[in-house]
Chains A and B, each alone.
Chain A
């Protein structure tokens, strides 16, 4: 066949292959268009998982009839001011979405223009496109804004159609896309309907952006997130990071709940994901992921959004600075926030503490589903042992009302309560120690509740912080290798490692370039002992390639520290005197990140007095 240009319809279908991957991409593109059109309210209707109908209605600026004819043409856009691809202020800019969608579906678009002063045009127009074939413009009757209906998506590309997942799955992806956009635009109201039920509805927020965003995040992620996150607000050299970071004890089993936005655009970017992992590195076990919603604002000139067809990835001019900002902002916020553990832990504990039959069972099983790590490691967390502990702690507080609770004699009250009956101690955040249960949990009384401390987890964290501090202050001792190890790598991988020799040397790994695509390791951290150097270097190189940073080495050193900490700390089952318990509590207050052990389990649970009173029907 001789060389020729492809017909426009085929070109559009090819573009659709990149831009329109699944119904969720259609929803995302159309909602983004609506946002760019200055809408205050956007309604999405999806039936059949988006296969039969996707309709997006907005109340934005709308289009005139002529614009309508143009908008389904390729590379037609109103969003690229001054034809400057470097300075992108809208979500869209390529002018590819509509023609691509139109080329693989039956698209109807209707619009009524309102001008800059809000004057509504007298006429509204409608246009239908079927698999790329435009119909004539028809007059229509519409309110202000634009309504786009996409029917029979992918009917023109049966291959794509075949690869669509179940309706529910496709719907889930679409709603996730809308959620992310809704988080970034709290000033706009959103709704998603599946034809029968409203699946998402958020009202347009108040004028104060910060408050509106917080309310929007709570609406979308859940009330728990509001209670178990800390606000991030940091800026540096024109980069601004705001949002909320979830407490380590409020973590999840996958990274799905990490919402990141760059200049209001939802992204899933590896640099950002890596930075978040770095920020939480010794607060969470490797298989736990924090919940965060972070908004990064920076000069549009220093970020390239034109690297991914669906714009899910971006490229930063200075990714090191972005990473540094995120890591330091989150670490700093946690250090300032002081002692906090997730309220969900104490809620669950309370839930399981109903008199007679354990009504909290459902909640418990849900807990163990959500937090497999806890049930494996902690044993006593959210298990019957915990329940007992909670029950017993009521005895000294609600005196004379302990029948039915059968307080176990094993609860070891302090021999000399007078000794620690220090009125001032109660005013400390973790209160005054009142006793120890099962030689494992320290119970203390605070000004407005009680605190249950897991003595092993708490002490382990304290020792760990101490060991880590010592490591940072004294530098990492390095064992020089008698037989330097040559590690063969891809040339790219080797170069990336060599670029970071200083950083690696600080952590005790000394290497240098060794010809093309290899490095030679001359010194290793003495702490690791006789270690698999080749494996370590390969892992680091892979990590650099993927995340553009190398956490692996630090993580391994921290792991050794944490094993040492575990062996060097007070175990469960050891009886503590009142003074020892109070000393533990005071040290926890003084140590950063003492609210969770290095696996992200809480070291203490706080029960408020009014919650306890509720249990007894006093409120």
Chain B
């Protein structure tokens, strides 16, 4: 194997794959990235056995071939090379060392044979549909903050992607919850996605995907089966195992009869919550909302620091109500609301509250109050 590639495109390509590689591995080959060169392009593959990303980039390939080298070391080297450098990579004759040179810098890297590199078997993927990058971005961004990090309820450690029906229209839905709050975003079901099984995409896959979307403005092809999902970008393919579990019946916890409706300016609200919560030292950062006719008073109390209150004008007319929330949860939701107006629907101080986005009808958030 022998090839030359411009430092910038090499770095970008490695950047896409290297974060999949865990810092510490019990299987040595998992620390490596697979380099495959053929026909004017080179592809880099990294995997942690649950997730594999292949990124392909154009290169001047003099001799095709393949090997594996330590991913983080290679990435660090390339990162530190000067901008615009031409990087030459070659595998020595007995396949034991990779030489890398750029200008006057020369590196020799130990490599492991490519045959040892684990290949993720994709199996049969019976469903296949296309989704615009902006749509996928929306599904991810508006739900990922609610993904649980608590390992015992592993089935909440991802985004639940499935087909469902809203008002007689078939929708593709993404749902995430950590048991305290829930986010649900939907869009019209793309062609070919009818009848897809409900799947849970793991948190790590979600964050790797998100990085790739940032640099692409294209159509992404999604293929899936019961156990695996594949996202095909123009130059990259992400293949991931799915979380093997049953996502809870979340429809049950989305309230339908909440009759107390509050409309408030999203930015005013978020800023006020942020300011008021400064006072609470406690980890839970509770903020109390007091509602009266067309008035919302936010307050926080800390036995050490004192108190904070802020009054903002709002549209409300359903009688007095006092309800407490974790301010971080409120800010997370406010961050994802695009519209100028955020719409809250309450039942009482102990029941789930619905938050809606005036600019995005397909997004819905449920927040559980705190007793303070």
User: Which of B145-153, B159-167, B268-276 lines the interface with chain A?
Assistant: B145-153
Chain A residue numbers with a CB within 8 Å of B149 are 530
Are A479 and B150 closer than 8 Å at their CB atoms?
no
A529 contacts the other chain (Cβ, under 8 Å)?
Answer: yes
Q: Provide the residues of chain B in CB contact with A529, threshold 8 Å.
A: 283-284
Q: Which of A474, A479, A560 contacts B370 (CB 8 A)?
A: A479
Task: Tell me whether A560 and B152 are in contact in the complex, defined as CB-CB below 8 angstroms, given that A480-B371, A481-B368, A482-B180 are known contacts.
Answer: no
Interface SS of chain A: mixed
Q: Is the CB of B148 within 8 A of A530?
A: yes
Report B147-188 CB contacts with A as 1/0, cut-off 8 Å: 011111000000000000000000000000111111000000
State whether B177 touches A532 (Cβ < 8 A): no
CA distance A52 to B309 in the complex (A): 82
CA distance A469 to B303 in the complex (A): 9
Q: What CA separation (Å) do A470 and B303 show in the bound complex?
A: 6
Q: Which residue of B150, B283, B352 is within 8 Å of A532 (Cβ)?
A: B150
A481 touching B286, Cβ below 8 Å: no
A527 touches B368 (CB 8 A): no
Q: Of B151, B152, B324, B368, which one neighbours A482 at CB under 8 angstroms?
A: B368
The reply to whether the CB of B350 lies closer than 8 angstroms to some CB of chain A is yes
For the complex, is B77 an interface residue (Cβ under 8 Å from A)? no
B369 at the interface (CB under 8 A from A): yes
A124 CA to B178 CA, complexed, in Å? 82
A599–B304 Cα distance when bound, in Å, is 24
Question: Do B148 and A478 touch (CB < 8 A)?
Answer: no
CB-based contact A480/B370 at 8 Å: yes
* Alpha-carbon separation in the docked complex, A473 to B301 (Å): 13
Please tell me if the beta carbons of A482 and B371 are within 8 angstroms of each other in the complex: no
Complex CA distance for A564 and B368, rounded to whole angstroms: 25
A466 and B352 form a contact (CB under 8 A):
no
Instruction: Contacts A470-B304, A477-B282, A530-B148 given; indicate if A482 touches B179 (C-beta within 8 A).
Output: yes
Interface contact A478-B370, CB-CB below 8 Å: yes
Of A466, A483, A534, which is within 8 A of B248 by CB?
Answer: A483
Q: How far is the CB of A566 from chain B (nearest CB, A)?
A: 13
Asked if A408 lies at the interface with its beta carbon under 8 angstroms from chain B, I say no
CB pair A482–B283 under 8 Å, yes or no, is no
Instruction: Contact check, B179 vs A478: say whether CB atoms are below 8 A apart.
Output: no
Residue in chain A with minimal CB distance to B301: A474
A482 touches B284 (CB 8 A): no
Which A residues are in CB contact (< 8 Å) with B150? 530-532
Q: Are B179 and A481 in contact (CB under 8 A)?
A: yes
Interface residues of B in 192-230 (CB under 8 A from A): none
User: Within the assembled complex, what's the spacing in Å between the Cα atoms of A481 and B301?
Assistant: 23
Within 8 A of B (CB), among A583-615: none
Q: Is B366 an interface residue (CB 8 A)?
A: yes
Interface 1/0s, chain A 526-570, versus B by CB < 8 A? 110111101100000000000000000000000010001000100
Is A149 in contact with chain B by the CB < 8 A criterion? no
Inter-subunit contact A526/B286 (CB<8 Å): yes
Taking the complex as formed, is A523 at the interface, i.e. its CB lies under 8 A from any CB of chain B? yes
Q: How distant is B29 from chain A, measured CB to nearest CB, in Å? A: 33
| CB <8 Å contact, B253 and A482 | yes
Provide the B129-154 mask, 1 if CB < 8 A to any CB of A, else 0.
Answer: 00000000000000000001111100
Contact of A477 with B371 in the complex, beta carbons under 8 Å: yes
- Interface hits, B332-372 → A, CB 8 Å: 350, 352, 366, 368-372
Nearest CB of chain B from residue A375's CB, rounded to whole Å: 28
Most A Cβ at <10 Å: residue of B180, B182, B370: B180
Provide the bound-state CA to CA distance between A466 and B182, in Å: 35
What's the least CB distance linking B326 to chain A, in Å? 7
> In the assembled complex, how far is the CB of residue B92 from the closest CB belonging to chain A, in whole angstroms?
49
Give the docked Cα–Cα distance between A482 and B370 (Å): 11
Interface presence of A81 (CB below 8 A): no
Contact of B178 with A530 in the complex, beta carbons under 8 Å: yes
A568 to B281, CA, bound (A): 10
- Chain B: CB-nearest residue to A532: B152
A485 within 8 A of B: yes
CA distance in complex: A375, B371 (Å): 42
When the two chains form the complex, which single residue of A470, A474, A479 contacts B180, counting CB atoms closer than 8 Å? A479
Contact A477 B350 (CB under 8 A): no
CA gap between A470 and B281 in the complex, in Å: 11
Given A473-B303, A482-B181, A482-B366, A523 contacting B371 (CB threshold 8 A): yes
Is A477 touching B148 in the complex (CB atoms < 8 A)? no
Report the separation of the CA atoms of residues A304 and B281 in the bound assembly, to the nearest whole angstrom. 50
Q: Which of B148, B152, B181, B282 contacts A527 (CB 8 A)?
A: B282
Within the complex, the shortest CB–CB distance from A558 to chain B, in Å, comes to 14
CB–CB A477/B324 < 8 A = yes
A526-B326, A527-B282, A531-B150 are contacts. A481–B370 as well, Cβ < 8 Å? no
Cα separation A453 to B372 with both chains bound (whole Å): 38
CB of B283 within 8 A of CB of A483, answer no
Complex partner residue of B152 from A466, A469, A483, A535, CB under 8 angstroms: A535
Residues of A within 8 Å of B352, CB to CB, are: 482
A479 vs B372: C-alpha distance when bound (angstroms): 9
Query: Provided the pairs A479-B370, A560-B283 are in contact, do residues A530 and B303 lie with their beta carbons within 8 angstroms?
Result: no
The answer to whether B284 and A479 touch across the interface, beta carbons within 8 angstroms, is: yes
Question: Which B residues are in CB contact (< 8 Å) with A469?
Answer: 303
Given contacts A530-B148, A532-B152, contact A478 B180 (CB under 8 A): no
Q: Which A residues lie within 8 Å of B282 (CB)?
A: 477, 526-527
In the bound complex, residues from chain A placing their C-beta under 8 Å from that of B181 are: 482
How far is B181's CA from A479's CA once the two chains are assembled, in angstroms?
10
- In the bound complex, what is the Cα–Cα distance between A121 and B3 (angstroms)? 113
Residues of chain B lying within 8 A (CB to CB) of residue A480: 350, 368-371
Please measure, in the bound complex, the distance between the C-alpha atom of A483 and the C-alpha atom of B148, giving whole angstroms. Answer: 12
A478 to B370, CA, bound (A): 5
Closest Cβ neighbor of A484 among chain B residues? B179
Q: Which of B280-306 contact A (CB under 8 A)?
A: 281-284, 286, 301, 303-304
Q: Which of B352, B371, B372 lies at the interface centre, i.e. has the most chain A CB atoms within 10 A of its CB? A: B371
**Chain A residues near B369 (CB, 8 Å)?**
480
> Is A479 within 8 A of B303, CB to CB?
no
**Which residues of B have CB within 8 Å of A535?**
152
In the complex the two chains form, is A481's CB within 8 Å of B284's CB? no
Among residues of A, the one whose C-beta sits closest to the C-beta of B149 is A530
Let me know if B253 and A483 touch, CB within 8 A.
Answer: yes
Separation of A337 and B352 alpha carbons in the complex (Å):
50
Minimum C-beta distance from B47 to chain A (A): 29
Docked complex: A458-515 residues within 8 A CB-CB of B: 466, 469-470, 473-474, 477-483, 485
- Report the minimal beta-carbon distance from B107 to chain A, rounded to whole angstroms: 41
Tell me the complex Cα distance, A560–B281, Å.
13
Q: How far is the CB of A217 from chain B (nearest CB, A)?
A: 42
Contact (Cβ within 8 A) A477 B372: yes
Flag B90-118 by CB within 8 Å of A: 1 or 0 each. Answer: 00000000000000000000000000000
Q: Which of B181, B253, B282 has the most CB of A within 10 A?
A: B282
**Which chain B residues border A474 with CB–CB below 8 Å?**
301, 303
Provide the B292-332 mask, 1 if CB < 8 A to any CB of A, else 0: 00000000010110000000000000000000101000000
Q: Are B179 and A477 in touch, CB under 8 angstroms?
A: no
Closest B residue by C-beta to A481: B179
In the complex, the answer to whether A482 meets B182 with C-beta atoms within 8 Å is: yes
The chain A residue sitting closest to B328, CB to CB, is A529
Instruction: Please state if A530 and B324 are interface contacts (CB–CB under 8 Å).
Output: no
> Which residues of B sit under 8 angstroms from A531, Cβ to Cβ?
150
Q: Using a CB-CB cutoff of 8 Å, which residues 188-214 of chain A contact chain B?
A: none
Expressed in whole angstroms, the minimum distance between the Cβ of A309 and any Cβ of chain B is: 42
CB contacts (< 8 Å) of B284 on chain A: these are 477, 479, 526-527, 529
C-alpha gap A523/B326 in the complex (Å): 13
**B326 near A534: Cβ-Cβ < 8 Å:** no
Whether the Cβ atoms of A479 and B152 lie closer than 8 Å is: no
7 example contacts (A-B, Cβ-Cβ < 8 A) are as follows: A469-B303, A470-B304, A480-B368, A480-B370, A481-B368, A482-B366, A483-B179
15 more contacts with CB within 8 A, not counting A469-B303, A477-B372, are A478-B371, A479-B368, A479-B370, A482-B177, A482-B181, A523-B371, A526-B282, A526-B283, A526-B286, A527-B284, A529-B283, A529-B284, A530-B179, A532-B151, A564-B281
Q: Which 3 A-B pairs have the closest CB atoms?
A: A526-B284, A470-B303, A478-B371
